[in-house]
Structure 1
Amino acid sequence: MTTYNWGMIGTGVIANEMADALNRVNGSVYAVTALDQDKLRAFAAAKHVTKTYATADELIADPNVDVVYIATPHTYHYAYIKQALNAGKHVFAEKAITVNAKEFDEVQQLAKDKGLILTEGLTLMHMPIYDQVKQLIAAGKLGDINMVQVNFGSLKDYDPQNRFFNKDLAGGALLDIGGYATAFARTFLAEQPNVTLTTAKFFETGVDEQSGIILKNPRQQMAVMALSLRAKQPKRGVVSGTKGYVEISDYPRATTATITYTSDAHATTTQTLTAGNAAEALDYEVRDMQRYIAAGHDDGQLDLSHDVSHIMDGVRNAWGMKFPFE
């Protein structure tokens, strides 16, 4: 497998995980930058990073950097993505890839114009179990898919200053965890939804603390989503058809899917599919990103991110919620 020089922007929790995955899959991390210089030096030493840069500008300008990895608060993604693409770098950005669909459409077009790979860090797009589930559905085993149910709930500490609740940093449940649920829903809907019904409870800072979301597409398929930042929920997705349903627990990094066949009114049968390893979730992301670069295309992943971005914009528009910088 071809290896690449990755340059990392950010040294937070997910960046630590990604550095470990890069060392396992790619063999090394080439460069890293962060605002906190003490954390930067400690990160570089712990992860055996070849070069450190005081600023993202310097890292992006390094001609030896092939891929820029962005693990900053959401509000910085758009500018860094544009800067990296304009510098001729492939980009892997953590979710949410951009704050809104307008930003997304611009960077998607820029990546296309530049002939570069742009990918969003949504683990469920890369877990092997989903290939098996999609093949099962494509074979008609669940009949016609009519309904998707999916939820994601975190219990964040009460802290109005935390980025999760900071409106200036595009906080709130939808952008922080809703991308996973929305990506799950869109994966199993045959068309992009054109109807959105939703309501939200807002945290005191004005961001969405929890919400209920119903989506419907032109084929009358529906998805029902529940999100929360101050109430823990199991990460559970269910895809239901006329012949049965499939349940996927811990769906962002899922390794198991349980199918229940219901076409027989008098009896049900079950089947379990297994694939992958949750501990290797980011390894799969790295492998896929490097495969996309080598192949010159991304297997449609950015198109899925496009639809997710536009769905989430529709939800926020229905709430009438805008961020101060929009």
Structure 2
Amino acid sequence: MTNYNWGIIGLGEIAHQFAAGFQQEQSVLKAVASRSADKAKHFAEAYQIPDYYGSYEELLADETIDVIYISVPNKQHIAHILSALKAGKHVLCEKAITMNSEELLEAVKLAEKKHLILAEAMTIFNMPLYTELKRLIDTGKFGKLKMIQAPFGSYKEPDPKNRFFNPDLAGGALLDIGTYAVSFARWFMTEQPFVAASVMQPFSTGVDEQSVTILQNKKQEMAAVTLSFQSKAPKVGIVSFENAYITIEDYPRADLAKIHFNDGTVETIVSGDTSQALNYEISNMIAAISGDQPNRSLFMTIDTIDLLDQIQQKWAQQ
């Protein structure tokens, strides 16, 4: 059994979650890096990680590291992805993986050239529940897919300097919570949709505070994506078919769904464990690296980033 050594670049909140929950038989969390050696040291000590570095370059020069997990702010993703790939490391990067499709294409081409795995840490593409729901849908008993609703509302303190509203830090709801909602819609749609319409209300800094987007594909499947950074809303995804509809509460890391049939019966589907969401990402990454399964979520990531581009292009025309 091959063991893989992981390193972390960027030690923010999600990196703490990643390190705290890291439980893998084939992987070891071996090193972390920050621009502050003290910060890296404290992080390493907190999670009993053997090595730490006061620069990202030192971590990438460590020949014992096989995989890099990137959790710096969105705008910095592409630079670190390219650096890690050039250093011969596989890369799992937090969402949104890049700012646009042009950046992602550059990264994908480099990963292919170097024979490395590049993947986005999007929980929806890795939670077992979604694989199980796709299997059930493919049986055909729900009938044709008709409509998807993907709301995501989160109240953020209206501070122009924080990352949620700061354009210099790639602020705005779309590249934060919006990636979940669009990924949710794309997962269930049977082919890539296009953005039929989208309207956005900006924050005072110019970034998107709230928006409504309609997706549609050639099979006439539709999805409504509603986002807000100034109002809370339940993260309940709804996927409607001819013969039933599925409800998924807290859909970003869901392990339970309910299937409501037209005759009034309800079936509950449980698969996976919400608390292990990040470990599923790690496990699927290792399976792709070892060749046990294809890098199955990358095409979904490519489609999602393309949709985010289309949405922003619609806004630019308003």
TM-score interval, normalised by the smaller of the two chains: over 0.9
Q: Which residue of 1 aligns with 2:280?
A: 284
Kindly provide the amino acid, as one letter, of the partner of residue 268 in structure 1.
G
Q: Superposed, which structure 2 residues align to 1:81-120 within 5 Å?
A: 81-120=81-120
Does the 8 A contact of 1:74 with 1:99 survive in 2?
Answer: yes
Q: Would the aligned equivalents of 2:152 and 2:234 in 1 still touch at CA under 8 Å?
A: yes
- Residue matched to 1:300: 296
Provide the rounded CA distance (Å) in 1 between the counterparts of 2:310 and 2:45: 43
How far the C-alpha of 1:116 sits from its partner, in A, is: 0.7
Could you report, residue by residue, the CA deviation over 1:42-69 in whole angstroms, capped at 9, with x for unpaired residues?
1110011111111111111211110011
Counterpart-to-counterpart distance in 1, 2:18 and 2:145: 35
In the alignment, the residues of structure 2 paired with residue 268 and residue 297 of structure 1 have an alpha-carbon distance, to the nearest angstrom, of 38
CA distances 1:90-145 after superposition (whole Å, capped 9, x unpaired):
00000010011110111112111211111101111111111211111100121000
Q: Which residue of 1 aligns with 2:236?
A: 236
Q: Is the Cα–Cα contact under 8 Å of residues 197 and 214 in structure 1 kept in the other structure?
A: yes
Q: What is the CA–CA distance in structure 2 between the aligned matches of 1:257 and 1:296, rounded to whole Å?
A: 28
Kept in 1, the 8 Å contact 2:38–2:54? The answer is no
Corresponding residue for residue 55 of structure 1: 55
By how many angstroms is 1:308 displaced? Answer: 0.3
1:35 shift after superposition? 2.3
Q: For 1:66-88, what per-residue CA distance to the aligned partner results, in whole angstroms no more than 9, with x for missing partners?
A: 00110000111101111111111
- What is the distance in 1 between the residues matched to 2:2 and 2:237? 35
Q: Give the one of 298, 303, 309 matched to 1:313.
A: 309
Alpha-carbon distance in structure 1 between the residues aligned to 2:25 and 2:171: 32
Letter in 1 for 2:131: D
Alignment of 1:264-275 (within 5 A): 267-275=263-271
Q: 1:25 to 1:232 in 2, by over 3 A?
A: farther
Q: Name the CA distance, whole Å, in 2 between partners of 1:200 and 1:77.
A: 25
For structure 2, the 5+ residue unaligned runs are none
Inter-partner Cα distance in structure 2 for 1:25 and 1:183: 29
Q: Any conservation in 2 of the 1:196–1:315 contact (CA below 8 Å)?
A: no
2:107 partner amino acid? V
| Change beyond 3 A, Cα 1:23–1:140 | closer
8 Å CA contact retained: 2:24, 2:283? no
Percent identity between matched residues is 45
Call closer, same or farther: CA 1:301–1:27 in 2, change over 3 Å. Answer: closer
Structure 1 CA distance, aligned partners of 2:278 and 2:125? 11
Shift of 1:39: 2.3
Per-residue CA deviation, residues 266-317 of structure 1 (Å, 9 max, x unaligned), is x321111001111111111111111111117544211100000000000001
1:108-257 paired onto structure 2 within 5 Å: 108-257=108-257
Deviates more, 1:297-306 or 1:53-62: 297-306
TM-score norm. by structure 1 comes to 0.94
Counterpart residue type for residue 239 of structure 1: V
When structure 1 is superposed on structure 2, of 27-36 and 206-215 the one drifting more is 27-36
Q: Which secondary structure does the structure 2 equivalent of 1:30 belong to?
A: strand
Cα distance in structure 2, aligned partners of 1:229 and 1:310? 22
CA contact (8 A) 1:212 1:225 kept: yes
Contact kept? 2:9, 2:68, Cα under 8 Å: yes
CA contact (8 A) 1:236 1:248 kept: yes
If the length of structure 2 is used for normalisation, what is the TM-score?
Answer: 0.96
Aligned partners of 1:144 and 1:276: how far apart in 2?
A: 26
Do the aligned partners of 1:148 and 1:222 also contact (CA within 8 Å) in 2?
yes
Separation in 2, partners of 1:303, 1:146: 22
Q: Is the 8 A contact 2:37 2:52 kept in 1?
A: no
Query: Which residue pairs with 2:7 in the alignment?
Result: 7
- Matched AA of 2:197: L
* Alignment gaps of 5+ in structure 1: 322-326
